Amino acid sequence: MTNYRGNFLYGFIACGPYELVPEFVFDKLFCPSVETDPNTGEVKVAQCGLRRIEGALLKEYKRDEVFLAHPEMLDKCVGPDTKVVGINVMDPLGMAPVTTTMSPEKLSYVAMKFKKMCASIIQLKKKHNFKVVVGGNGSWELAKPDRMKIHGIDTVVIGEADELALDLFHDLEAGDAPELLHTFVRNIENVPMMQGPTVNSLIEAMRGCGRGCDFCDVNKRSKKDFPLERLQKEAKLNLDYGFDSIWLQSDEMLLYGCDNKDFVPNADAILHLWSGLKSTGARFVGTTHMTLSAVASSPDLIKKMSEINEMHVAGGRWLATNLGVETVAPRMVKKHLGVKTKPFQPEEWGAVVREGCKILNQNNWFPALTLIIGWPDETPDETQYTIDLIDDFKQTNMRGLVAPLLYQDFSEKNSMHFGNLNEAQFTLFWRCWEHNLRVINDIIPIIIRNKTYGPAMKVFMAALIKAGTWAIMRYLRGLSKELFNGQVPEDIVERYSRKKSVTAAASPRL
């Protein structure tokens, strides 16, 4: 229940270890609470997922029967009339890739907050005897009987609950709901309208992707686009509340309106969407996710999107967006990335990534890239392809963050851990953070760009971010000595520096 001071990148801090940052610093400095009624615990701003469930329930329930509560003020919200408590989770047990990477073998902030909330719910449940249902992107982590029991949960919903929410809550009230429910939206028209402002002015532009990556849960959803008129109404809720911009939640923004098998972006549909939302009075329109193949195929589209946001003028703003690279080894791309490379071929993915980052930088977009380290079937020579990609970023002065994430298996059988890294995988990890340290001065202005920060606070935050990056490098240095018989990273990394004989033939120019 935070706006992350207007910057989604602060969400990464919640994935860090609880013991590293004092809780009052986390709560006040990085992730202050959304506006909340101090007397009732009712929040004025909530996540998209909670707003969807609220909208579904209001089709039959009265306004005063549905309450959006702050998780740290439940004693003020829950009482003898409470029948159901619904919880939206992203990563409740800290098992997602970012958290397992940033908090190895330690309790993360996001997991600590969840445990603290559940302790409160369990005590209230003993007193008032209500039902507890959990949904959201991280609900899979709780879908085991022992975990449900420990956390006081009666029902876990995996998937999209929009269409079934009303029936589900009726069943929960009657004590007749299943313990586990898998569900997906069949018709996007059945997704309820949001009834209030959302965290960081985030609204859903679309659901699903269609790219077919085998490690991604999003791939299970068919692609569905929300029409502009509807998005304008939901954007207005946020602008009327006081937000000055609109952020679009998407699994692949550049596929909005796309109806061709080659996955070439529908430039007209996207520019119509961007212009239509900008016309509502938003200062700019941002988006959470893009794909580099779509970027590389449509440089003019990226330029026009930036022009609508007035990012092209001298001194214009930079916007960050998330893009998945995962790997650039041709065999791994063919096996695991589905049609992520379309309209290009899998063998071209390395060149696509390089070109896409170049196009984004030229148009004032700051890419936040993710890589997967520790694929169960990846060889050291295949890891080398991605190591060389990071080396090339140095040569081209790419402005962007690279987040190396340990491979996580939904079955929890083949998940990667730091103690299992081989030399090539460690080298890739080290190279990524060398890159991040090199571009940290480019990153900081984007991270601390906030009207609530004064000059002194910005200086403090910049120092804190640099210190955090150095702390990661220090951890990796110690890990190197532990894993590789006392060897320091420089000894290992040198052996994997620019093995062009391995990669030159598979890095074609676009």
Query: Is the pLDDT reported for residue 133 higher than 60?
Result: yes
Structure confidence at residue 156 (pLDDT):
98
**Band (3; pLDDT cuts 50, 70, 90):** confident
**Is 333 part of any domain?**
yes
Based on the fold, state whether residues 18 and 146 are members of the same structural domain: yes
Structure confidence at residue 477 (pLDDT):
93
Structure confidence at residue 286 (pLDDT):
95
Q: Residues 6 or more apart from 471 whose CB is under 8 A from it? A: 20
Query: CA torsion, points 290, 291, 292, 296, in degrees to nearest 10?
Result: -80
Buried b (16+ CB within 10 A) or exposed e, 194-215: bbbbbbbbbbbbbbbbbbebeb
Gyration radius of the chain's alpha carbons: 23
Structure confidence at residue 259 (pLDDT):
87
Domain boundary among 155, 188, 221: 188
**Band (450; pLDDT cuts 50, 70, 90):** low
What is the mean predicted confidence (pLDDT) over 338-355? Answer: 96
Query: Is there a contact between 13 and 19 (Cβ–Cβ < 8 Å)?
Result: no
**Is 370 part of any domain?**
yes
- Give DSSP secondary structure letters for 299-349: HHHHHHHHHHTT-SSTT---EEEEEEEE---HHHHHHHSTTTTTTS-GGGH
Q: Name which residue leads in pLDDT, 66 or 437.
A: 66
Based on the fold, state whether residues 268 and 327 are members of the same structural domain: no
d(CA 426, CA 462): 27
What is the mean predicted confidence (pLDDT) over 5-22? Answer: 80
Query: Is the pLDDT reported for residue 506 higher than 50?
Result: no
Based on the fold, state whether residues 476 and 327 are members of the same structural domain: yes
d(CA 388, CA 368): 18
Based on the fold, state whether residues 203 and 184 are members of the same structural domain: no
Based on the fold, state whether residues 402 and 480 are members of the same structural domain: yes
Based on the fold, state whether residues 164 and 233 are members of the same structural domain: no
- Return the sign of the alpha-carbon dihedral for residues 401, 406, 412, 414: positive
**Is 305 part of any domain?**
no
Buried b (16+ CB within 10 A) or exposed e, 464-487: bbeebeeebeeebeebbeebbeee
Name the average pLDDT for the chain: 90
Name the amino acid, one letter, at 155: T
Helix (H) / strand (E) containing 386: helix 380-396
- Please report, for the domain that includes residue 76, its CATH number: 3.40.50.280
Based on the fold, state whether residues 422 and 500 are members of the same structural domain: yes
- Write out pLDDT tens, residues 204-226: 999 888 787 877 776 667 788 99
Q: How many domains does the chain have?
A: 3
Based on the fold, state whether residues 99 and 161 are members of the same structural domain: yes
Based on the fold, state whether residues 492 and 347 are members of the same structural domain: yes
| Ordered strands of the 180-183 beta sheet | 84-88, 131-135, 155-159, 180-183
Structure confidence at residue 457 (pLDDT):
74
Based on the fold, state whether residues 15 and 37 are members of the same structural domain: yes
Query: Is the pLDDT reported for residue 501 higher than 50?
Result: no
**Is 335 part of any domain?**
yes
Phi-psi region of 105 (alpha: psi -120 to 50; beta: other; left: phi over 0): left
What is the mean predicted confidence (pLDDT) over 266-294? Answer: 96
Give me 86's structure tokens. 């619904």
What is the mean predicted confidence (pLDDT) over 34-63? Answer: 96
- Please report, for the domain that includes residue 221, its CATH number: 3.30.750.210
d(CA 36, CA 142): 28
**Which of 24-28, 324-328, 409-413 is predicted with the least confidence, judged by mean pLDDT?**
409-413
**Strand 206-207 versus strand 224-225 pairing type:** antiparallel
**Band (504; pLDDT cuts 50, 70, 90):** very low
Phi-psi region of 421 (alpha: psi -120 to 50; beta: other; left: phi over 0): beta
**Is 301 part of any domain?**
no
Structure confidence at residue 68 (pLDDT):
97
Q: Residues 6 or more apart from 251 whose CB is under 8 A from it? A: 206, 207, 208, 209, 218, 221, 223, 289
Domain boundary among 271, 290, 309: 290
Q: Is this model's pTM higher than 0.75 or not?
A: yes
Residue with tokens 């709901």: 177
**Is 46 part of any domain?**
yes
DSSP 3-state of 81: coil
- Write out pLDDT tens, residues 362-392: 999 999 999 999 999 999 999 999 999 999 9
**Band (48; pLDDT cuts 50, 70, 90):** very high
Structure confidence at residue 447 (pLDDT):
67
Structure confidence at residue 77 (pLDDT):
94
- Write out pLDDT tens, residues 120-130: 999 999 999 99
Give me 323's structure tokens. 């893009």
Smallest CA-to-CA distance from 290 within 256, 337, 316 is with 256
- Write out pLDDT tens, residues 169-195: 999 999 999 999 999 888 889 999 999
- Please report, for the domain that includes residue 395, its CATH number: 3.30.750.200
What is the mean predicted confidence (pLDDT) over 384-402? Answer: 95
Structure confidence at residue 509 (pLDDT):
52
Structure confidence at residue 209 (pLDDT):
84
**Is 299 part of any domain?**
no
Range(s) of the domain holding residue 236: 197-290
d(CA 366, CA 446): 9
- Write out pLDDT tens, residues 108-123: 999 999 999 999 999 9
Backbone φ, ψ for residue 413 (5° rounding): -95, -40
Based on the fold, state whether residues 262 and 376 are members of the same structural domain: no
Based on the fold, state whether residues 91 and 209 are members of the same structural domain: no
Domain boundary among 188, 214, 247: 188
Q: Residues 6 or more apart from 100 whose CB is under 8 A from it? A: 94, 406, 408, 415, 417
Give me 49's structure tokens. 């997922």
Structure confidence at residue 217 (pLDDT):
72
Structure confidence at residue 25 (pLDDT):
82
**Is 295 part of any domain?**
no
Query: Is the pLDDT reported for residue 483 higher than 90?
Result: yes
Smallest CA-to-CA distance from 297 within 510, 31, 43 is with 510
DSSP-assigned letter for residue 412: S
